[in-house]
Amino acid sequence: MSEARQTTDHDVIQRWAEERNGYPATVAGTAGENEGAGLLRIDFDPPDERLQRTSWSAFFSKLDRENLVFLYQERTADGQMSRFHKFIDKETARRSGR
Q: What pLDDT is attached to residue 36? A: 54
Q: Which has more pLDDT, 39 or 93?
A: 39
pLDDT averaged over every residue in the chain: 88
Handedness of CA 36, 38, 43, 46 (dihedral sign): negative
Q: What pLDDT is attached to residue 90? A: 80
What is the rounded average pLDDT of the residues 45-55?
93
> pTM for the full model?
0.84
Indicate the pLDDT class of residue 34, thresholds 50, 70 and 90.
very low
Whether 35 shows a pLDDT value over 60: the answer reads no
End-to-end alpha carbon distance in the chain: 16
The whole-angstrom distance between residue 87's C-alpha and the CA centroid of its chain comes to 5
